[in-house]
Amino acid sequence: MPTMLVTGASRGLGLEMVRQYGAEGWRIHACARSPDAATELAALAAGSGGAITVHTLDVGKPEQIAALAAELAGTPIDMLVNNAGVLGHAIERQEPGAFGTIDYDNWMQVHAINTMAPLMVAEAFVDHVAASEMKLMFFMSTRMGSITVLDEGNFYPYRSSKAALNLLVKAISIDLAARGVRTLAVHPGWVSTDMGSAAAPVTPPESIAGIRRVVAAYGADETGRFFQYDGEELPW
């Protein structure tokens, strides 16, 4: 039975990932900032026969990352899913982080969660991943972080944090190649989650179903690539 660890698993894409991979029989370590408030996640865990374990993890707190890595020492993790992330400026409140309106304190918070935290998680769990069969580090990215396809402005904090994350995904693939650890970045689409808003055309089940197909098709020798949930490869 393959094993995964998912950050930001209490709602949205993280929760749906737990639901779908759990239905496939994966052993899942599902992480949430406030497990007591994550009622849907708790229900999935309760009905999993012990296959889904819920952990407290705020990726913005390095001490919690280190503590969980120590708690799971010796546990192989086939797919490490860096899903937790923040938009920083809410679409529904029309705060797009546009030129001339930047909240720089907010930008630092967005960078800390979207860029620095995934790297800290990757560093903390590299031995767990290297000990597994799949050896895959998965990063939830976005088309909004692709410099090549950029054709509109706004959302400077979010875009820049994800563009930086994409660079890390590529760099990690180089640094960990000798250990057989692979990386994959995926754009989930514009999804109708709390972050994406109700106006988004893609549902979480559709997005994660597509992501599962991307992961399944990702070759054992492939690493450092960027795909959309529908299988289209994206430029950095």
pLDDT of residue 52: 98
Residue 88 lies in a domain: yes
pTM score, two decimals?
Answer: 0.94
For residues 57 and 68, the answer to whether their CB atoms sit within 8 Å is yes
DSSP state of 191: B
30: phi then psi, degrees, rounded to nearest 5: -100, 125
Name the more confident of 46 and 93: 46
Residue 172's alpha-carbon distances to 78, 105, 162, 185, 189, in angstroms, are 16, 28, 15, 11, 24
Helical pair 117-124 and 62-71, crossing angle rounded to 10 deg? 20
Residue 236 lies in a domain: no
> Domain holding 54: CATH number?
3.40.50.720
Q: Is the pLDDT of residue 50 over 90?
A: yes
pLDDT of residue 6: 98
Residue 234 lies in a domain: no
Residue 235 lies in a domain: no
Structural domains of the chain, count: 1
Confidence of residue 197 (pLDDT cuts 50, 70, 90): low
For residues 193 and 204, the answer to whether their CB atoms sit within 8 Å is yes
Residue 105 lies in a domain: yes
pLDDT of residue 179: 98
Q: Is the pLDDT of residue 194 over 70?
A: no
Residue 117 lies in a domain: yes
Q: Which of 143-147, 193-197, 216-220 has the lowest average pLDDT?
A: 193-197
Q: Is the pLDDT of residue 198 over 80?
A: no
Q: 69 lies in which domain range?
A: 3-228
Residue 158 lies in a domain: yes
Residue 27 lies in a domain: yes
pLDDT of residue 141: 97
pLDDT of residue 148: 96
pLDDT of residue 90: 46
Which two three-digit tokens encode residue 186?
């995926």
Q: What is the mean pLDDT of residues 111-121?
A: 97
